[in-house]
Amino acid sequence: MMYIYKAAVIGAGTMGSQIAQVISYSGLPVILKDIDKTAVDKGIGAIRKIYQTRVDKGKMTPAEMEQKMALISVTTGYEGFIDVDIVIEAAIEDMEVKKKIFSELDAVTPQHAILATNTSSLSISAIGAATRRPEKVIGIHFFNPAYAMKLVEVIPGLATSSETIDDIVAFAEGLRKIPIKVRETAGFLVNRLLMPYLNEAAFVLQEGSSTVRDVDASMVSFGMPMGPFALLDMIGIDVAARVADILYDSYGPRIEPASILYEMAREGYLGTKTGKGFYDYTDGKDNHLDPIIKRLQVEKGAKKSSYSADRLLLAMINEAVMVFQEGISSVSDIDIAMVTGTGFPQDKGGPLHYADQVGIDRVLEELQQYKNDLGHRFWPAPMLKRMVGAGFIGVKSGRGFFVY
């Protein structure tokens, strides 16, 4: 078991600075590095703001805040990296950029140091291949905002050693996080399950089966903290389209992205950051997407179908079953990840617990119905047919994904 006495974070943007704050809050010294002074100053400012909010709420004293701030040092080079035990890279989502950083880290950090990446979608194995210590390279994916979100996805690459996995799990627990181990797959766990759900909402709008406000209202009344369109606006339509591309590249037609995402990105409707996304944050009229929707309906020959919240939930449940049958994660970890990482209602226990409550037989029946109406996006996971055949249909039979 390796003890971690000192950490470093590469990239002082939103995620990098939040991760550095989380590390300093746990009492560890941390170096925050970026390419220029302006970036690191901005990062330090963001960290101070997070702590100041705690002080304002009476959760810590100004003196305690200064003690925590004193644990953070900044640099634009690699000074101080000679004795770090872990580095977390949070630079832009670009494979070439990450490979270059990891190759440099390999040269400037001690041999025992763990080199981790906060990537949300790129291959850990490919990043590890840029170093002479792929066994020490691992994914540690924090969720935004990192200081508030408990979930951390831990993703080993093909060459990552079991010691490195154990060390990073212990490190995440030391940061008071809930680490979930995920086998390497495009989108990892949360994004892979979330994207079909968000993408299906986009299809519903594109084909004119419901409106932005009605879809969001239906998911909030189901118990989600916000609707899919409000969430997409927060994530950024450009970011969502990029994740959709990565998943499509791996899983093919089953995860075909809704065209409206690309059309919106092209028009500059990127969400809250540009003032317009699915919602209009400038005048609240929300009719700016009408021309795009009309155009797509003509191009795609869209047929309206009836909308219910089940349509989005089934897309997520089906993907959760795929993830489980591929051995990416365990049933309980899948549910914990979706409750802690996306706010899936706790009383429903997560997508697989919820499937057990609804009944696996009904889930399969509804998926087949949607597959007939809407095509291969709803092709049921093979495991569902096996479970129904075996009588493992959930709570009512005493056994489904879980035992009751």
Over 90: is that where the pLDDT of 229 sits?
yes
Residue 152: the pLDDT is: 97
- Spatial neighbors of 263 by CB under 8 A, at least 6 apart, are 292, 295, 296
Of the chain, the percentage scoring pLDDT greater than 90 comes to: 90
Q: What percent of the chain has pLDDT over 70?
A: 100
Token representation of residue 257: 């992205």
Mapped onto helix, strand or coil, the DSSP state of residue 330 is coil
Best CA proximity match to 160, nearest among 212, 203, 123, 209: 123
Is 309-329+347-397 the same fold as 190-300? yes
CATH 1.10.1040.10 fits 309-329+347-397, yes or no: yes
Q: What is the mean predicted confidence (pLDDT) over 283-304?
A: 86
Checking if the pLDDT of 1 tops 90, the result is no
- The CATH number of 190-300 is 1.10.1040.50
CA dist., res. 142 & res. 90, Å (int)? 10
The pLDDT of residue 253 is 86
pLDDT band at 284 (very low <50, low <70, confident <90, very high): confident
Q: Which fold has domain 7-181?
A: Rossmann fold (3.40.50)
Residue range 177-227, pLDDT digits in tens: 999 999 999 889 999 999 999 999 999 999 999 999 999 999 999 999 999
Q: Which of 60, 69, 126 is nearest to 98 (CA)?
A: 126
> Per residue in 45-97, pLDDT tens?
999 999 999 999 999 999 999 999 999 999 999 999 999 999 999 999 899 99
- Rounded mean pLDDT, 107-114: 97
What is the C-alpha to C-alpha distance for residues 151 and 170, in angstroms, rounded to an integer?
14
Which structure tokens are listed for 230?
Answer: 């409000």
Note if the bond before 145 is cis, omega within 30 degrees.
Answer: yes
3-state secondary structure string across 130-184: CCCCHHHEEEEEECCCCCCCCEEEEEECCCCCHHHHHHHHHHHHHCCCEEEECCC
Active site residue 353: no
pLDDT score of 303 more than 80: no
Q: Express each pLDDT in 118-132 by its tens digit.
A: 998 889 999 999 999
Q: Say if residue 332's pLDDT is above 90.
A: yes
Say how far apart CA 256 and CA 199 lie, in whole Å: 8
**Residue 12 in contact with residue 43, Cβ under 8 Å?**
yes
Quote the pTM value: 0.90
Q: For position 186, what pLDDT does the model report?
A: 87
CA–CA separation, 379 and 392 (whole Å) = 20
Q: Quote the tokens at residue 323.
A: 């993830």
Predicted local confidence at residue 310, as pLDDT: 96
pLDDT at 121: 82
Does pLDDT of 322 surpass 90?
A: yes
Residue 37's pLDDT is 95
The predicted pLDDT at position 88 comes to 98
Span 262-272, average pLDDT: 95
Cα(344)–Cα(352) distance, integer angstroms = 11
pLDDT at 312 over 90: yes
pLDDT of residue 154: 97
Check pLDDT > 80 for residue 380: yes
Name the residue with tokens 């905002």: 145
Provide the pLDDT for residue 157: 97
Where do the structural domains in the chain lie, given as residue ranges? Answer: 7-181, 190-300, 309-329+347-397
One of 141, 288, 353, 376 is an active-site residue; which one? 141
Mean pLDDT of the chain: 95
Contact present, 159 and 125 (Cβ < 8 Å): yes
Cα 336 to Cα 316: distance, rounded to the nearest angstrom: 14
Tally the residues of the chain. Answer: 404
